[in-house]
Amino acid sequence: MTSPTAHRLLVVDDEPDLRTLYELTLLREGYDLETAACVEDAWQLLQERSYSVLITDMRMPDGTGLDLLQRLEAAGRTEKTIVITAYGSAENAVSALKAGAYDYLTKPVDLKQFRAVVASALRDAEAQALMVREPVSAPLGLPVPATVAASPAHAKDAAHTPPSAPPSALAKLAGHSSAMQDVRVLIDKVARSMAPVLVWGESGTGKELVARAIHDVSSRHARPFVAVNCSAIPEQLLEAEFFGYRKGAFTGAAEDREGFFQAAHGGTLFLDEIGDLPLAMQSKLLRAIQERSVRAVGATAEVPVDVRIVSATHKDLQAEVAAQHFRQDLYYRLNVIQISLPPLRERLEDLPILCQRILARIATESGLPTTPALSTDALSALMHQRFAGNVRELENMLHRAVALSGHPTLEPQDLGVSAWLPGQASAHTPPTPEAPASPTAAATSAAPPAAPHTASSEPPSPSAQNAPLPRDLVSHLDEVERDILVQALEKHRLNRTAAGASLGLSLRQMRYRMARLGVQVTEQGVLLGERCEPDADAD
């Protein structure tokens, strides 16, 4: 670690008293410091020399801190930027982080917190400077962002570890689809700052893998990555697990223990299934994030912590906020930058390489002499599965097939799926009217989704005239309605309110129809159960 005097800082603020306060605070820490009173003066200094950290106020006479951020981004500058905003101005803070700021502070600035944030920015700036000195080739032939490709830690791993060393989290994000390329670009971009990231995706899409990739690409990669499953911790233990406790704080506390925040100090704290936290704990988590400090159970003083927060959920947090199950202020704190992971059924072009990677890993873990392969029929059958459990379901399917088959080439029957025939409709896309998979599917395709019970004003096509009449019209229409509900729910990410609105139904009407037709929303997706007749009609 270099000495503080090796760092040059620039403070930009139009208020002389605040400039003096920041200057005295930082000079006492031993930093080399310069100041500017407006955007243009700051830009003039930036053109003359480089700085490790730029600290800027949001509002100034000739512009804003965002103007400086945009100029720095356009010029490809590497200064870490800390933006100071008015108290309670969450919109400005979010805008600054999205524009590339490393972190932000709110007025009135707490000087202890001010020094801690500046020190954190300098550590990351120093680590980033080291990361650009020695390039390293991408593992498994995948492109690696510049911040990772230049990491000496990765270069050392490449030089001293055998070829069988496990790949990084970024390398494990297999797939060349446009959706996954967009995810990689976002990972590289958000890794440069301290901006909180919310990873959204269905169960089994790889949310923790993305969180680990953000950590690996960032300058914090040498520090701890602590993953927490918020839904797996009993409510009465949440505070002690998150913030730690002191000896004697409660029965069974025989010694001091650190919490998740202290364990992740200097690194990344990944909060999985954040939507399952009870409201009481949400309030305490919000304070810890805002104050950047935690107080252990049984302690009297707070301890500052330096952690990058990455959270994940499969829930629609906006709907949870509307239902008052999730705090709106915490939602805005966590959802500064959102990375949405596509379900497997929306990136089936990645299926071959996913299967290849998974089968290779299974072969290595099981000690098989050769890696099993999929036959053409087996891969074709997989390409037409719904995959409600996404990549996790695919992994389980391949694990079971390898364990039970014993053959080097896996066939559809080994996977427990039916071989797909040309002209047969797939499980993940609705069949076309020209080649329906079934009379039910044909009726679903012909009916407009927004009004499932409205008869078409156009004359029926010849194929519809020749279609066999259903023996039980009520059951047939129920099947049509059930298929439409499932399609609407999947299209709107299992959000019943949005799905109902797209069909012209209120939430009450949507719930009634789902209950009557046995349509259930679970963590694994949409499940079809037994039909029942609700007590009262909502129509």
Q: Where are the domains of the chain?
A: 4-131, 140-340, 344-415, 433-452+471-539
Q: Which CATH superfamily is 140-340 part of?
A: P-loop containing nucleotide triphosphate hydrolases (3.40.50.300)
**Alpha-carbon gap, residue 292 to 6, rounded angstroms:** 26
β-partners of residue 521 are 526
Predicted TM-score (pTM) of the model is 0.64
Quickly count helices (H) and strands (E) in the chain: 24, 18
* Ramachandran angles phi, psi of 381, nearest 5°: -65, -40
- Residues in a beta bridge with 269: 226, 309
468-499 exposure pattern, b = at least 16 Cβ within 10 A, e = fewer: eeeeeeeeebbbbbbbbbbbbbbebbbbbbbb
Element (H, E) at 192: none
Calpha distance 184→170 (Å, rounded): 8
CA gap 13, 49 in Å, rounded: 19
Find the helix packing angle between 351-366 and 390-405, rounded to 10°.
50
Q: What is the dotted CATH code of the domain comprising 4-131?
A: 3.40.50.2300
Domain 433-452+471-539, what fold? Arc Repressor Mutant, subunit A (1.10.10)
For residue 104, the cross-strand partners are 83
Q: Does the fold of domain 140-340 match that of domain 4-131?
A: yes
Beta bridge partners of 34: 10
Positive or negative, the CA dihedral 178, 184, 185, 190 is positive
Chain-centroid distance of CA 125 in Å reads 25
What integer pLDDT is reported at residue 39 of this predicted model? 93
What are the C-alpha distances in Å from 56 to residues 113, 115, 117?
16, 15, 13
Determine phi and psi for 100, rounding to 5 degrees: 115, 5
Q: What is the pLDDT of residue 98?
A: 78
DSSP designation for 519: E
Written as six digits, the tokens of 204 are 């089994």
Q: What is the pLDDT of residue 407?
A: 85
Per run of 10 residues, the mean pLDDT along the chain (length 539 residues) is 68 92 91 92 92 92 90 88 76 77 86 89 78 42 36 38 51 85 88 89 93 91 93 92 92 90 95 95 93 92 92 94 93 91 92 92 89 91 89 92 88 80 51 38 37 43 59 81 87 83 84 86 72 53
CB atoms within 10 A of CB 527: 12
Residue 534 has a pLDDT of 59
Locus of tokens 């109902």: 500
Residue 192: name the closest of 218, 215, 172 by CA: 218
| Cβ atoms of residues 440 and 479 within 8 Å | yes
Q: How far apart, in whole angstroms, are the C-alpha atoms of residue 337 and residue 341? A: 13
Class of domain 344-415: mainly alpha
Q: Which residues contact 419 (CB under 8 A, 6 or more apart)?
A: 377, 380, 381, 412
Instruction: Name the one residue in this structure whose structure tokens are 């069949």.
Output: 431
